[in-house]
Amino acid sequence: MRSAVDCTQLVAAIGDAVVVSDAEGRITLWNAAATALFGFTEDEALGQSLDLIIPERQRRRHWDGYAETMRTGETRYGTQLLRVPALHKEGRTLSIAFTVALLTDQAGAAHEVVAVIRDETVRWTEERALRQRLAECEARVSDKKS
């Protein structure tokens, strides 16, 4: 049986960012890896809206999905990675991948969302460069056939 101290140590020690938010999307837990990823300290993040790290152009879609998840208590992103842009404290855009888990009350209603987040900015940038190089190569081959 795990104690609360073990869970606290796990969340503190894990290399991935762990962010927990309540039903309204206010941040209730922010580990050291979240600080390293997003640049905001725990004190800066706790109690703030998730808008802190969501690019403005993504917010409507995010909040629509968030509300639906809280209403239904269901999400497909517990097993399927979600890849989206995010914001760093300095204003730069990150590419992140994450899964979520819903925490429920005794009645089974969702009341918090746990996100386990990883930075994929380097991978995304490399893939974009490879896609661009492939498109250029295909264009050259196409030009030679003409």
Q: Give the tokens for residue 122.
A: 């380097």
Residue-averaged pLDDT of the chain: 88
Four-residue CA torsion sign, 96, 98, 102, 103: negative
In the predicted structure, residue 4 carries a pLDDT above the cut 60:
no
Encode pLDDT of 111-132 as tens digits. Answer: 999 999 999 986 666 677 667 7
The domains of the chain are located at 4-121
Q: Please report which helix (H) or strand (E) contains residue 121, including its range.
A: helix 121-145
- Sorting pLDDT into bands at 50, 70 and 90, what band is 5? low
Rounded mean pLDDT of 39-66? Answer: 97
Encode pLDDT of 68-81 as tens digits. Answer: 999 999 988 888 88
Of 10-14, 37-41, 98-102, 124-128, the one with minimum mean pLDDT is 124-128
Q: Can you tell me the distance from the alpha carbon of 76 to that of 99, in angstroms, rounded to the nearest whole number? A: 9
Burial of 36 (0-12, 13-18, 19+ CB in 10 A): exposed
Give 97's contacts (C-beta < 8 A, 6+ positions apart).
81, 82, 83, 117, 118, 120
**4-121 classified as CATH 1.10.260.30:** no
Per the model's pLDDT, the better-predicted residue between 10 and 142 turns out to be: 10
What pLDDT does 46 receive? 98
Encode pLDDT of 79-115 as tens digits. Answer: 888 999 999 999 999 999 999 999 999 998 899 999 9
Q: What is the largest CA-CA distance in the chain?
A: 69
Q: Please report, for residues 49, 117, 135, the alpha-carbon distance to residue 25 in angstroms, rounded to integers and kept in the order given.
A: 6, 16, 40
In the predicted structure, residue 24 carries a pLDDT above the cut 80:
yes
What pLDDT does 139 receive? 72
In the predicted structure, residue 141 carries a pLDDT above the cut 80:
no
Q: What is the 3 state secondary structure string of 11-22? A: HHHCCCEEEEEE
